[in-house]
């Protein structure tokens, strides 16, 4: 299954693959070169198809857990000061996505969207300390029904990611694990939690969007 955000890219890639393959085998070049170029062309198509894949995830709905919004590796767990929405200290977990990860973004908890905003910005590498404040990004805050807890997540563009798709609209009622957007070509997502939240992951741990539990209330 492929994500709808990849429909146009996949169509273009398939058309270009057919054109290139036809050209490669029609022109007069050595057979070894034809085979090599064909292999490269098919490999590039495979990479694009892999990038836009959207595997089904089995989210176990729970009002006491925060699931990872994306696939990737936990690269930061620390207390930070959020200056955009909370204006105070929060516990931040950052998940870095490589180009080969699934790039679907999913809601970490169920609830109601309290805030959703897009910010234009730079394209620093995703692991840069200032990426969460200076890069192109979207910020989404969800009101959780559990003791008025609010969870914020931020999609952050990287050096390669030039397009962030965010489906979250303020006042929408959303379900944990459902599709909330897409980030093209590698980046990261930061999750901001109350400082007393119990963390369930470790640094460098690999996580799956919609399934791996980042923290519990």
Active site residues: 187
Q: Give which of 189, 190, 140 is closest to 168, Cα–Cα.
A: 140
Residue 32 is encoded by which pair of tokens? 């070894």
Where are the alpha helices (H) located in the chain, listed in sequence order? 7-26, 31-51, 131-134
Rounded CA-CA distance 203/75 in Å is: 6
Neighbours of 122 (CB within 10 A): 14
Rounded CA-CA distance 92/198 in Å is: 12
Helix-then-strand count for the chain, H and E: 3, 14
Q: Quick one: residue 111, left, alpha or beta (phi over 0 = left, psi -120 to 50 = alpha)?
A: left
Tell me, what DSSP letter sits at residue 53?
B
């Amino acid at each position: 299954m492929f994500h709808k955000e990849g429909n146009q890219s996949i169509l273009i890639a398939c058309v270009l693959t057919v054109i290139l393959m036809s050209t490669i085998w029609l022109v007069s070049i050595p057979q070894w070169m034809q085979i090599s170029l064909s292999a490269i062309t098919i490999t590039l198509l495979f990479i694009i198809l892999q990038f836009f894949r959207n595997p089904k995830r089995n989210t176990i709905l729970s009002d006491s857990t925060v699931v990872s919004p994306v696939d990737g590796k936990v690269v930061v767990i620390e207390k930070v000061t959020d200056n955009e929405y909370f204006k105070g200290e929060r516990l931040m977990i950052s998940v870095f996505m490589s180009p080969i990860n699934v790039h679907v973004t999913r809601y970490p908890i169920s609830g109601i969207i309290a805030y959703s905003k897009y910010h234009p910005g730079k394209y620093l590498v995703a692991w840069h300390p200032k990426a969460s404040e200076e890069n192109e990004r979207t910020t989404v805050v969800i009101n959780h029904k559990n003791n008025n807890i609010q969870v914020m997540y931020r999609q952050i563009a990287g050096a390669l990611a030039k397009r962030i798709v965010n489906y979250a609209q303020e006042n929408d009622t959303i379900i944990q694990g459902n599709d909330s957007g897409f980030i093209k070509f590698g980046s990261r997502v930061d999750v901001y939690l109350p400082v007393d939240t119990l963390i369930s992951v470790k640094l460098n741990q690999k996580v799956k969007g919609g399934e791996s539990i980042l923290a519990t209330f």
